[in-house]
Amino acid sequence: AKKAVQSLLDAWPQVGDSAEFYRRVRNGYRLNDLGASTVSVIGDFDLDREVQRIFEKKAAVGQFVHSDYCRFEGRTVNQWLGEDVEQFLAVLDKRGWIKRGHDPQESRFWQLIVGEQAPMFGVFSAYEQQMIHDWIAADWQAEGKRSPRGALLQRQAAFNARRAAPAPAVPQPAEHASGNDFDEELQLLEQQVARLPDRAARMRLLLPLLAPQRHHSAAGLLATRLFNGLFN
């Protein structure tokens, strides 16, 4: 329970509407036992599509912040992100920056996004990193360990089998929400940055999030990365 509360506090938005965020948390808790189960959702989950969605979302801002030093197939990273994300992932795989079916630690791209010294530290949320990790690993798994997907399915099935209490009464329908995950404030920040017309305006937006009391947050880390990229 303590970890759950701490996770909630860590996810509390620095950007956007805090009251709306908490309303969604409360409604999500009430809806926990309604609709599709965790097992059915996992069974229908398309990891390839989700990873592509993650990269396309990041590309909205990423196409403006990379330098022109590194090129793939004659195009800069900014050009790839602005034109064809799916093909860019294929090129990274072809060039060995991503090694599908191997330990993700062997992939150069993974080393760029994970770890406090990584050049892209803070760009991807914990959820996004896990999706990328599982996508790169594919059928690979560490010796003596089940894949994360298989372990989760087994735990959830065992938990459901032990449940004896009836499901709670159906709550009244909640008001429509614009998002459905804990990364909403990062998406909002990326959208705000992408809509601004020039570098000076983007810097003015990001600067408050670089303050010491906010820098450590998910929004602060993303803002730091984006702010640094504006100098290249």
Please state the domain extents for the chain.
1-43, 46-139, 183-230
At residue 128, the pLDDT reads 93
Query: Which tens digit of pLDDT belongs to each residue from 122-155?
Result: 899 999 999 999 999 988 876 655 555 555 555 5
What average pLDDT is seen over the chain? 80
Closest CA to 147 of 103, 105, 177, 186: 103
Q: How far apart (Å, rounded) are the C-alpha atoms in residues 149 and 207?
A: 39
At residue 166, the pLDDT reads 52
Query: Which tens digit of pLDDT belongs to each residue from 25-75?
Result: 888 888 776 776 667 777 778 899 999 999 999 998 888 888 888 899 999
Residue 198 has pLDDT above 70, yes or no: yes
Residue 174 has pLDDT above 80, yes or no: no
Mean pLDDT computed over 113-118: 87
83-106: b (≥16 Cβ within 10 Å) or e: eebeebbeebeeeebbbeeeebee
